[in-house]
Amino acid sequence: MTNTANHSGSQQGKFRRALAVVGTFLQSLDYTSFDYTLDRIERLEREVGQLKEELRQSRDREGVDASQR
């Protein structure tokens, strides 16, 4: 009888842990408009950085071309 009680208790603990994992997963999927805005700003900042780098590289090449003439 004790073995059966322990068995159901451990199953209940596993179920609670699984439920907690599912709950945590669902909370991580909660994507608010604020989160979207921050992600969008971050992407735009990255893109501006890439464009600045491309512009710097093209200016460096133009400087080399002008000095070779």
Q: Do 25 and 8 fall within a single domain?
A: yes
**What confidence tens digit (pLDDT) does each residue in 15-67 have?**
999 999 999 888 888 888 999 999 999 999 999 999 999 999 999 988 776 66
Q: Based on the domain organization, do 17 and 36 belong to the same domain?
A: no
Whether residues 45 and 23 fall in one domain: no
Which range, of 3-7, 8-12, 25-29, 47-51, averages the lowest pLDDT? Answer: 3-7
pLDDT of residue 7: 54
Split at pLDDT 50, 70, 90, the class of 1 is: very low
Containing domain of residue 19, as a range? Answer: 1-30
Residues 63 and 51 in one domain: yes
- Are residues 24 and 35 located together in one domain of the fold? no
DSSP assignment of 27-59, as one string?
A: HHT---HHHHHHHHHHHHHHHHHHHHHHHHHHH
d(CA 63, CA 39): 36
* Pair (11, 36) in one structural domain: no
Query: Do 14 and 42 belong together in one domain?
Result: no
CA 65 to each of CA 58, 62, 69: distance values in angstroms, whole numbers, following the listed order: 10, 5, 7
Q: How many domains in the chain?
A: 2
